[in-house]
């Protein structure tokens, strides 16, 4: 008799979601986390500084309802955040739901074109969301079985949704979905900061530039839940605390500071795990929130087919986004930014070309000298003020490695880049925290420090995610499942990968 019905390895967002969902469906679940706090990459922070993720835009309402969290919970009811594109001439551009405006309040001439394009992409995102909320299509189920019928209906719904767009819209959808964001955005908008903002939103976290194929898909993905950005009240750790609370309420056994050393097998079926401190926990189902390569290391390669291992080790995951946290001397306003914009999402991406040029050095293992930056001003629990920034591109495999000198250089670049649009910012910064992709990998195990554990590119999506032959969350021996960001539909503090994996595990072991 096993101790648990299921063991989840890795207490990040997807692991917590998977465990909670299984627990709520009557399974006896244990969630094991290596570090002393749950939440994984989302809430990872250094010395109490801002966490890696600092805003929410893709958290799935379906996941929330499946794990028993009220979508109106105070933590999730933070003020919607608008986006501000910073400009060196001080005429910043504010992107709101109702259009785009100059910082002084007048309407931007590209407002209508931007709204049309964004709305179009949001519509596409809504269609594709149906695919995200289920395992990828193409399972070998008989069409007349319940699962097969559901899958058929889901695809039919997508087809019907496409048809409903009308002939020219449908044609447009098929034309843009696989295309690059450079071409599509510049079809409708002139080159400049408005186009640059869309280009930036298409490349966060990925090793692509606006001209890379598939970047429109990334943009649609980002807008998959409507494109609204919020900051959880109390920060990202408040959200992960909420998930932990939901897991506890559902009856999950949480084991922080416990590291799995090996996944145990018995006659080609999972039988439990052994921890580094020598404990054996038994269960017929193990869900791994780790990247496939790390999971395979815990079983040894011999339990997988040779082709599977070849695919696993060829999954592309090269993190290019560094977190640079700028400690501000006090809570005063940022220089050059009007009062009402101080708490919005600030973006430095003056043009599509700028974003593409920033990508170029990363191809050759260099950091961008003129990076793309997303910044959010926030206060940490200790009352300190920070500018939490994502700086791209800072490749994980930087030539010469991420030495202290390299990190200092990246911080200097980030500050001086922002200083162009926020003159005087330099004097407000008292300290910097740099979290490079290799550091993210060390702390969370995410290969290359990549946000999604595996690049979100067309060859690694849907039935090819994380790799051909393992898209249905199961992997190798009976009872072994993957539930991490490397699986369909990916990461982004969305929770759907964990949810889908848990449902797949339920289906396999009712």
Partner 1 sequence: MSIFTDPKLGLIPGPFHNKLAEQNRARSWYDWVGYAAPGVLDSIEFEYFALRNQASLFDISPMHKYRLTGPDTTAMLNRLVTRDVRKIGLGRVGYAIWCDEEGMVIDDGTLFHLDENDWRLCCQEQMLTWLLDAAWGFDVSIVDETHSVACLSLQGPTSYAVLEAAGLDVSKLKPFDLIRIDPDLMISRTGFTGDLGYELWSDWDKAEALWDRIWKGGTHQGLRAIGYEAVNMARIEAGFLTAGVDFQPVHATERLHRGQTPFELGLDRLVDFDKGHFNGRRALLSKQDTPRSLLMRFDVEGFKPSEGSLIYNQRKKEVGHITSGIWSPTAKRNIALAHVRMPDAIRSSSLKAEIYTLQEGKWGTRMARLTPVAKAFFAPPRARATPPART
Instruction: Please report, as ranges, the residues that interact with partner 1 according to CB under 8 A.
Output: 268, 296, 300-310, 313, 469, 476-477
Comparison of 247 and 471: residue with beta carbon closer to partner 1: 471
Contact 56, 492 (CB under 8 A): no
Least separation in angstroms between residue 463's CB and partner 1 is 16
Least separation in angstroms between residue 223's CB and partner 1 is 37
Least separation in angstroms between residue 159's CB and partner 1 is 26
Comparison of 257 and 307: residue with beta carbon closer to partner 1: 307
Edge-to-edge strand order for the sheet containing 280-282? 260-265, 270-275, 280-282
Tell me which residue of 315, 335, 295, 509 sits closest to 420, measured CA to CA: 335
Comparison of 301 and 338: residue with beta carbon closer to partner 1: 301
Least separation in angstroms between residue 41's CB and partner 1 is 26
Angle (nearest 5°) at CA 353 between 350 and 357:
105
Give the H/E segment covering residue 175: helix 167-176
Measured distance CA(373)–CA(307) in Å, rounded: 39
Comparison of 305 and 399: residue with beta carbon closer to partner 1: 305
Comparison of 303 and 506: residue with beta carbon closer to partner 1: 303
Comparison of 219 and 312: residue with beta carbon closer to partner 1: 312
Least separation in angstroms between residue 87's CB and partner 1 is 51
For the record, the structure tokens of 60 come out as 């799935």
**How far are the Cα atoms of 223, 297, 300, 446, 447 from residue 294, in angstroms, in the given order?**
30, 5, 10, 9, 9
DSSP reduced 3-state for 32? strand
The distance of Cα 461 from the centroid of its chain, to the nearest Å, equals 14
Least separation in angstroms between residue 44's CB and partner 1 is 29
Contact 218, 178 (CB under 8 A): no
Cis amide prior to 489 (ω within 30 degrees): yes
Q: What is the largest CA-CA distance in the chain?
A: 69
Measured distance CA(474)–CA(455) in Å, rounded: 20
Least separation in angstroms between residue 267's CB and partner 1 is 9
Comparison of 296 and 368: residue with beta carbon closer to partner 1: 296
Which residues make beta-bridge pairs with 265? Answer: 270
Tell me which residue of 322, 317, 257 sits closest to 293, measured CA to CA: 317
Least separation in angstroms between residue 302's CB and partner 1 is 5
Comparison of 319 and 476: residue with beta carbon closer to partner 1: 476
């Amino acid at each position: 008799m096993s101790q648990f019905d299921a063991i989840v390895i890795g207490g990040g967002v997807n692991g917590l979601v998977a465990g909670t969902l299984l627990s709520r469906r009557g399974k006896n679940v244990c969630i094991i986390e290596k570090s002393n706090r749950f939440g994984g990459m989302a809430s990872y922070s250094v010395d109490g500084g801002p966490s890696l993720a600092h805003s929410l835009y893709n958290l799935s309402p379906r996941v929330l309802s499946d794990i028993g969290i009220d979508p109106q919970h105070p933590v999730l009811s933070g003020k919607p955040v608008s986006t501000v594109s910073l400009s060196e001439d001080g005429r910043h551009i504010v992107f709101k739901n109702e259009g785009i405006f100059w910082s002084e309040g007048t309407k931007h001439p590209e407002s209508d074109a931007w709204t049309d394009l964004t709305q179009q992409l949001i519509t596409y995102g809504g269609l594709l969301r149906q695919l995200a909320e289920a395992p990828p299509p193409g399972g070998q189920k008989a069409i007349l079985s319940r699962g097969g019928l559901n899958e058929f209906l889901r695809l039919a719904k997508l087809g019907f949704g496409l048809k409903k767009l009308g002939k020219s819209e449908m044609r447009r959808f098929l034309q843009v979905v696989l295309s690059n964001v450079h071409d599509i955005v510049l079809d409708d908008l002139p080159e400049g900061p408005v186009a640059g903002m869309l280009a930036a939103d298409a490349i966060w976290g990925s090793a692509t530039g606006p001209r890379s194929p598939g970047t429109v898909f990334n943009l649609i993905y980002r807008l998959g839940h409507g494109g609204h950005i919020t900051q959880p009240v109390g920060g990202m750790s408040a959200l992960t605390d909420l998930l932990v609370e939901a897991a506890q309420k559902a009856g999950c056994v949480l084991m922080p500071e416990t590291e799995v050393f090996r996944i145990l097998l018995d006659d080609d079926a999972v039988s439990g795990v052994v921890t580094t401190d020598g404990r054996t926990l038994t269960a017929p189902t193990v869900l791994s929130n780790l990247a496939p390569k790390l999971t395979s290391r815990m079983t040894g390669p011999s339990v997988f087919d040779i082709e599977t291992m070849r695919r696993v080790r060829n999954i592309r995951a090269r993190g290019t986004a560094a977190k640079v946290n700028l400690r501000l001397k006090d809570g005063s306003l940022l220089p050059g930014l009007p009062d009402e914009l101080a708490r919005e999402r600030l973006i430095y991406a003056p043009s599509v070309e700028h974003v593409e040029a920033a990508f170029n050095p990363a191809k050759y293992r260099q950091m961008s000298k003129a990076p793309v930056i997303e910044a959010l001003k926030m206060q940490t629990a200790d009352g300190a003020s920070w500018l939490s920034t994502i700086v791209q591109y800072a490749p994980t495999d930087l030539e010469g490695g991420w030495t202290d000198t390299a990190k200092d250089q990246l911080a200097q670049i980030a500050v001086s880049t922002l200083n162009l649009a926020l003159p005087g910012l330099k004097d407000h910064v008292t300290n910097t925290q740099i979290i490079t992709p290799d550091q993210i990998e060390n702390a969370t195990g995410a290969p290359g420090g990549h946000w999604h554990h595996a690049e979100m590119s067309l060859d690694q999506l849907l039935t090819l995610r994380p790799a051909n032959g393992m898209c249905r969350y199961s992997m190798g021996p009976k009872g072994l499942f993957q539930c991490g960001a490397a699986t369909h539909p990916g990461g982004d503090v969305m929770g759907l990968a964990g949810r889908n994996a848990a449902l797949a595990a339920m289906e396999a072991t009712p």
